Amino acid sequence: MPKVIRNSTNPRTATRLKRKVRIRKKIMRHQGQVARLVVYRSNKFLYAQLIDDGKAHTLAQASTQEDTFKDQKSRHNIAAAKTLGGLIAKRALDKKVERVLFDRNGFDYHGRIKAIADGAREAGLQF
C-alpha cells in the first residue's frame, strides 16, 4: 500500500486509505496467528476474503457476484451483506477456521460492513 496519497486522489478515498493504514497497524500485532477476514465494498458488489497471513494465501472467498445472489432484489444492500457474512462464515468453518480478525479495509463500521460482520457472527465465527 502506498505511503503517499497522490493529490489527484478523491478526498473520500484518501480518507479511507489513511484509515486503512491505522487499521492495518492494529491488525499487524496478530498477523500470522489468526486468519483475517477482509471485506471490500464497491458500488455494485460486496466481497469477503479469508486470508492466512502466516502462509500468505487465501483460504476462502465469497462475493455477491456469485450465482447464489442472483435471485435477490439487490446485490449490494444490507440483506445481501448479511447473507454474504453467513456464506463466508460457513466456508471458513468448513476450513476449520473459527476465529478471525475483521479487516474492514478502511470502511466505516456501519451499514453493509457491519451487516457482513453480524452475519458472520450469527453463522458461528468469532471475532
Report how far residue 95's alpha carbon sits from residue 116's, in angstroms, rounded to the nearest whole number: 19
- How many CB atoms are located within 10 Å of the residue 49 CB? 19
pLDDT at 5: 65
Please state which CATH number belongs to domain 11-123.
3.30.420.100
Of 65, 87, 67, give the one whose Cα is nearest residue 75. Answer: 65
- CA quadruple 107, 109, 111, 116: dihedral positive or negative? positive
Report how far residue 115's alpha carbon sits from residue 96's, in angstroms, rounded to the nearest whole number: 23
CB-based contact 59:92 (threshold 8 Å):
yes
Quote the pTM value.
0.86
pLDDT at 25: 86
pLDDT at 6: 66
**pLDDT beneath 50, residues of the chain:** none
Report how far residue 63's alpha carbon sits from residue 48's, in angstroms, rounded to the nearest whole number: 6
pLDDT at 82: 97
